[in-house]
């Protein structure tokens, strides 16, 4: 049987998808590695940092809403929240309108660190994206939004 390139018309799509997922994995690894190398007053991974930033932006958010915003399973959110709660950065309260729901907010201990954490996150991100021009970054953002939607 003779196989031609016509038998695989979407090979370019597959290659692009592979590059995208590989790049995502590498960037996440590099971000986490650089974050871990810093002498932060609180231990954070990239995923925990993202969760902390989502709670900060919302001020108060239900755990199930946070799972939806972050596109993570509730069990994963619970694991992250448990770790951040142990470090004194997140607090849980019972939702007064629905006693089955848990509301998350930052603790007073976490609030002073937000500016530093955001600055560090932006600095690491800038270094990881330094090879791209401003225009290339804009184009990439637009393309990624199209894929996400």
- Give the bridge partners for 62, in sequence order: 103
Q: Are 81 and 44 in contact (CB under 8 A)?
A: no
Question: Residue 51's CB: how many other CB atoms inside 10 A?
Answer: 26
Write out pLDDT tens, residues 77-118: 999 999 999 989 999 999 888 888 899 999 998 888 788 778
The token pair at 1 is 């049987």
Cα–Cα dist 85/65, whole Å: 18
Write out pLDDT tens, residues 39-73: 776 777 788 888 999 999 999 999 999 999 998 99
Average pLDDT, the chain: 86
Q: What domains can be seen in the chain, in order of their start residue?
A: 14-148 (1.10.10.10)
pTM for this model (two decimals): 0.70
Cα 129 to Cα 26, 38, 42, 50: the distances in Å are 12, 19, 25, 18
Q: CA 72, 34, 124: angle at the middle one, nearest 5? A: 80
Residue-level pLDDT at 115: 81
């Amino acid at each position: 049987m003779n196989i031609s390139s016509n038998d695989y018309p979407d090979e370019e799509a597959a290659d692009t998808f592979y590059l995208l997922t590989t790049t995502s994995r590498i960037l996440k690894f590099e971000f986490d590695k650089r974050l871990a190398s810093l002498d932060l007053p609180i231990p954070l991974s990239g995923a925990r940092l993202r969760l902390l930033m989502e709670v900060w932006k919302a001020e108060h958010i239900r755990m199930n809403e946070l799972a939806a915003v972050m596109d993570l399973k509730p069990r994963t959110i619970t694991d992250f929240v448990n770790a951040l709660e142990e470090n004194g950065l997140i607090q849980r309260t019972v939702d007064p309108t629905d006693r089955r729901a848990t509301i998350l907010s930052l603790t007073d201990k976490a609030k002073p660190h937000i500016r530093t954490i955001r600055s560090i996150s932006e600095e690491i991100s800038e270094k990881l994206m330094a090879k791209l021009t401003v225009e290339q970054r804009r184009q990439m953002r637009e393309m990624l939004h199209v894929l996400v939607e």
